[in-house]
Amino acid sequence: MIQLKKIFLILVCTSVMWSCAQEKNGFDREIERKIDRLVKKMTLEEKIGQMNLISFFNSNIDQQLADGIRNGQVGSLINVVDPALVNEYQRIAIEESRLGIPLIIGRDVIHGFKTVFPIPLGLAATFNPGLIEQGARVAAIEATSTGVRWTFSPMLDISRDPRWGRIAEGFGEDTYLTSVMGMAMVRGYQGDDPADPTAMAACVKHFAGYGAAEGGRDYNSTFIPERVLRNVYLPPFIAAIQEGALTVMTSFNDNDGIPSTGNRFLLRDILRDEWDFTGFVVSDWTSIYEMIPHGFASDASHASQLALEAGVDMDMMSFTYVSHLGELAAEGKISEKWIDQAVRNILRVKFKLGLFDNPYVDEQMHKQVFYAPEHLELARKSVVESAVLLSNDGTLPLDASKTKTLLITGPMADAPYEQLGTWIFDGEEQRTVTPLTAFRQLYGNAVRILYEPGLAFSRDKNPAGIRKAVAAARKADAVIVIVGEESILSGEAHCLADLNLQGAQSELIASLASSGKPVITVVMAGRPLTLSREKECSNALLFAFHPGTMGGTAIADLIFGKEVPSGKLPVTFPVSSGQIPVYYNHNRTGRPFLGNETFIDDIPLKAGQTSLGNTSFYLDQGIAPQFPFGFGLSYTSFAYTNIHLDKVLYGKKDTISLTFDLTNTGKRSGTEVAQLYVCDKTGSVTRPVKELKKFERITLEPGETRTVMWTLPVNDLAFWNLQMEKVVEPGQFDLWVAGDSVSGDPVLFEVY
């Protein structure tokens, strides 16, 4: 009897442990039981139908699509954003298909839905994950009010090449910052309960390494060794998945010859076996079929087999699954177990989103939430915190009481469509507050506002308008010239070899400077640009990315000092595109730049072959970027003093405690983004010259000093070594606390 009791107890404990483990890995027993029951009823065609994702932009019901849904051949839709139409398609799926499995509706909600926030690269510049989470929550509330319950965001591609147009959509060059921002967006989109009607499933993309496209050319090949993949490109995905991200999207690129959409190592060995991911994997747009032009698949049937076996659960718009998986299974070329696994992953997300219980959307809800005042204010605040002050000779902030006449000029001064930035399907330009509008509305009573476009659009080469702008400048006390990029010049497939301002924009700024009046240049763009000439011509330079709906209001408030800039660069700005790739956390070399090198204009004639020394730099442009990662000015200044660690020697399981004093040494209150960097001085492999490990926004009154206490687990210093183990190696480390990636003096500590 006792033996039986023991066996029973063991069984109970095992079952409890199994279910706990399952819950941890995102498996809910009740949902798994429902999936079991449903999959048992499904035909092979119905299973494959769930794996078929179709995009539809039409605003009226399409009978062929309706038939496909009715026959169980379509599992998800994207780009249907009319609530009544969503409900009609959903009704057909629920009431007219054999098993009544609901659709999931997706959309690219990348930086807002109707209320448009700054592009993600700008959001990263806030170094404020709480704000990013709030913004993502607003985007979810607005998008789900139309029936969208899945967004293809956050994009977590690390990019070190501003020629790549999609650098606009990510959080820049740093792994830690991208991880923190990605987690914040997942929290914002999915909320506390994905089944809440205002929650939408996040889709972390593009898995993986897409931002390393050779030459910064979109869709191009990447060559990322596994260790670099694990140390630089994958951590943001792990972080977002551990935060609960429900879906993953594969990337277009091949890495060392293997397209991600057919990369079993990525999609099964890492994503499933190492990370226990329980959501579903969707291909990117036709990326399954594109394995044929990749030269990786011989035809569509072969492509569908490769993708399925690699671990792609859902086919976005290549129709290969719905066209070929049935016959491949019938011929025994693929195992139906892969199809069952894929369907289970998809159904699991649909259950988690509560779509079986609440498939329909309130068709009036959107009227209550679009452009809600609190949404617009959050968007304005996001612009204020994302704008980066790159230079200022003291001209900013302007004093409205002493500025009688202000000229607003430049092709981006009143460009409501362009200001929204890339990936805007739902934002409306007529709701955009442009800088011209804002300056007139907010400051037009106190200041006479003149306006001359100068150029008609960012690529405009016609200098005719420049003369009129310069003439107007002569009548003004100060000039605000707003330049940059039309929104189409960044984003997917929109890469540039030359990062100088397009058209005659530089000429416009130089001509305005010749007026002798103070010139404040504001840049709205989707990527770092090469701005050395504009910096020289301007009294102040403010980089506002593409700021979205409320960009004008925020920029006007920053210019007149109602708001104080606090943004920091999430990506390095090169002197020229010839410096690319240029990023702060590069590896050490055997002959690092020393700073005493001879530059091209100082080289004597007939200089001897070895006379210049042998270090790593450019004769014509050195090694320093125009503006470094983490850099950004304020209208006040800050000093870092008394940086102390609690010990000098740490064990691998210790936590470093450090304190430092931060003082506002200026005359205005302001917010500093204090940053913590570490360098592993000697490793079993060469290590980056420094890596961001922590940051915090700290607001101080003039003259105020705050003693800040931070902790950093030694384990955060771990990296993947040659044995593919994530380890902290003993040895010496340098630590910096500063306001950017190039300032401060190192503090030494050691790990034993």
Shorter beta-carbon distance to ligand GLC: residue 38 or 185? 185
Per CB under 6 A, 254 contacts ligand GLC: no
Q: CB of 205: closest distance to ligand GLC in angstroms?
A: 6
Structure tokens at 66: 């309706």
Question: What's phi and psi for 169, nearest 5 deg?
Answer: -90, -10
Residue 117, SS3? Answer: coil
Distance of CA 386 to the CA centre of its chain: 13
DSSP assignment of 554-567 equals HHHHHHTTSS----
Amino acid at 512: L
Residue carrying the six token digits 């909600």 = 109
The smaller minimum CB distance to ligand GLC, of residues 285 and 640, is found at 285
- Nearest distance, CB of residue 687 and ligand GLC, angstroms: 32
Comparing every residue's Cβ against ligand GLC, the nearest one is: 152
Lookup: tokens for 384: 């204020």
Q: What is the DSSP letter of 600?
A: G
Which of 218, 284, 313, 680 is flagged as catalytic? 284
DSSP letter (8 states) at residue 222: B
Least separation, in Å, of the C-beta of 218 and ligand GLC?
9
State how beta strands 638-645 and 655-664 pair.
Answer: antiparallel
Is the distance from CB of 371 to CB of 117 less than 8 angstroms?
A: no
Compare residues 108 and 485 and give the one whose CB is closer to ligand GLC. Answer: 108
Q: Which helix (H) or strand (E) holds 278?
A: none
Q: Is 437 helix (H, G, I), strand (E, B) or coil?
A: helix
Q: Residue 251 Cβ, how far from ligand GLC at the closest point, in Å?
A: 8
CB 165, min distance to ligand GLC, A: 11
**Per rule CB under 6 A, is residue 285 in the interface with ligand GLC?**
yes
- Token pair for 741: 């990636």
Judged by beta carbon, residue 97 or residue 422, the one nearer ligand GLC is: 422
Question: Angle at which helices 29-41 and 2-24 pack, to 10 degrees?
Answer: 80
CA dihedral 243, 244, 246, 251 (to 10 degrees): 20
Among positions 149, 160, 187, 205, the unique one binding ligand GLC when judged by CB under 6 A = 205
How far apart are alpha carbons 214 and 280 in whole angstroms?
Answer: 29
Q: How far is the CB of 490 from ligand GLC (least distance, A)?
A: 14
Residue type, 582: V
Q: Is 152 in the site for ligand GLC (CB under 6 A)?
A: yes
Toward ligand GLC, which CB reaches closer, 285 or 677?
285
**Smallest distance, Å, CB 247 to ligand GLC?**
11
Q: Which is nearer to ligand GLC, 81 or 676 (CB)?
A: 81
# residues near ligand GLC by CB under 6 A? 6
The distance of closest approach from Cβ of residue 155 to ligand GLC in the complex, given in angstroms and rounded to an integer, is 7
Looking from the CA of 268 toward its CB, the CA atoms found within 13 Å total: 15
Query: What residues pair up with 698 in beta bridges, in sequence order?
Result: 672
- Packing angle, helices 129-144 and 373-386, rounded to 10: 140
Residue number, 122 or 744, with CB nearest to ligand GLC: 122
- Centre a 10 Å sphere on the Cβ of residue 681 and count the other Cβ atoms it contains: 15
Residue 98, SS3?
coil
Query: Is 256 an annotated catalytic residue?
Result: no
Q: Which residues make Cβ contacts (< 8 Å) with residue 657, sequence separation at least 6?
A: 645, 646, 709, 710, 711
> Least separation, in Å, of the C-beta of 116 and ligand GLC?
17
Terminal alpha carbon distance of the chain: 54
Backbone angles phi, psi at 696, to 5 degrees: -155, 135
Which one, of 330, 516, 545, 508, lies nearest residue 420 by Cα? 545
- C-beta closer to ligand GLC: residue 318 or 549: 318
Question: Can you tell me whether residue 54 is helix, strand or coil?
Answer: strand
Give the x-and-dash track for 427-456 against ligand GLC (CB under 6 A). ------------------------------
| CA atoms lying within 13 Å on the CB side of residue 260 | 30
Check residue 108 for interaction with ligand GLC (CB under 6 A): yes
User: Which residues 6+ apart lie within 8 Å of 27 measured at CB?
Assistant: 278, 348
Of 284 and 418, CB closest to ligand GLC: 284
* Binding flag, residue 207, ligand GLC (CB under 6 A): no
State the nearest-atom distance from the C-beta of 276 to ligand GLC, in Å. Answer: 24
* C-beta closer to ligand GLC: residue 428 or 492: 492
Residues between 474 and 503 that touch ligand GLC (CB under 6 A): 492
Residues of the shown chain interacting with ligand GLC in the complex, contacts defined by CB under 6 A:
108, 152, 205, 284-285, 492
Active site residues: 284
